[in-house]
Amino acid sequence: MPESDVELVRRGFKALEAGDPEAMIEFVHPDFEMTTPASLASEPDTYRGADGIRRYFASFYEAMDQITFQPGAFEDLGGGHVLTPSTLRARGRSSGLAFEQSVVLVWEIRDGLSYRLHVFATEEEAREAFGS
């Protein structure tokens, strides 16, 4: 029986808990794409495929340590979309200052893998974009 979209996203977060982004690659479609919006990132960019995931996390680990991504509830929106409010926590590598950012993620699943990751500031924005 195929894995549910929610279970796939849940397992991806679980793999990331160990602190090794490489563990997440098995859950990512070769054509994966994620864009960090300017309103939520100091350096907005688009990341593609496994190399994009590696580049995204490498930029984080240059400046931060003690990085965790804590998901909230997982909601199947249907049509291969899973909504997950999430909190990013980290500590500045040189400053030691704690950082926390809440975002709402909508994972788009294709062929049993994460195909796109959409990042929103609020749940309302995410639901408006995905019609739920």
Other Cβ atoms within 10 Å of 85 Cβ, number: 18
What are the extents of the domains in the chain? 5-124
Q: What is the pLDDT of residue 89?
A: 92
Instruction: Give the β-pairing of 113-120 and 28-36.
Output: parallel
**Distance, CA of 25 to CA of 114 (rounded, Å):** 10
Q: What is the pLDDT of residues 1-11, one digit of tens each?
A: 357 999 999 99
**Joined tokens for residue 93:** 């590598």
Determine the residue type at 2.
Answer: P
CA 64 to each of CA 53, 59, 117: distance values in angstroms, whole numbers, following the listed order: 16, 9, 22
Q: What is the DSSP letter of 9?
A: H
Q: What is the pLDDT of residue 1?
A: 37
Q: What is the pLDDT of residues 48-104, one digit of tens each?
A: 999 999 998 888 788 888 888 899 999 999 999 999 999 999 898 889 999 899 999
CATH of segment(s) 5-124 = 3.10.450.50
The pTM score is 0.90
Contact 29, 113 (CB under 8 A): yes
Of 3, 59, 55, nearest in space to 25 by CA: 55
The pLDDT-based confidence of 131 (bands split at 50, 70, 90) is confident
